[in-house]
Copies of this chain bind each other. A is one copy, B any other.
Amino acid sequence: MIMKKIEAIIRVSQFEEVTEALHDIGIDFFTYWDVTGVGNEKSGAIYRATVYETRLIPRRVISFVCRDKFVDASIEAICKAAKTGEMGDGKIFVSTVDESVRIRTGERGPESLYIKE
């Protein structure tokens, strides 16, 4: 079974909704961190006497590895939950992962991604 890595760059404000949407389709494991995105969206800013436009917008990356069959559902779920319709909603990138290891058990491959206990 092939494993895929999904990286979604989203608005920080949509994070809760995306988490729930992923939960609903069975994705309960992921890793996230905060980044700065440079894209189409601009925002007006002021600092002391300087008014300026910045294209540096705070974003959050949600990253997880899942089995192939989850990819489409994940994309759909993220798209729905992360969309506001305004410029700057973000991107999803999918790539292939060769191997996965669960450190605690040493399990390898897709197996290491299942929920067990």
Contacts and interface: CB of A to CB of B under 8 A. Distances in A.
The interface residues of chain A, by DSSP majority, are classed as strand
Interface residues of A, number: 53
What's the number of copies of this chain in the assembled complex? 3
Nearest to A78: B103
6 contacts: A9-B31, A31-B38, A87-B104, A88-B104, A91-B112, A96-B96
Which 10 pairs across A and B sit closest by C-beta, in order of nearness? A94-B99, A89-B104, A33-B35, A92-B101, A89-B103, A29-B39, A94-B98, A90-B103, A82-B103, A31-B35
Given A33-B61, A92-B99, 14 more contacts: A5-B95, A9-B31, A10-B103, A30-B38, A31-B36, A32-B35, A33-B34, A33-B35, A75-B99, A86-B104, A87-B117, A91-B103, A91-B112, A95-B96
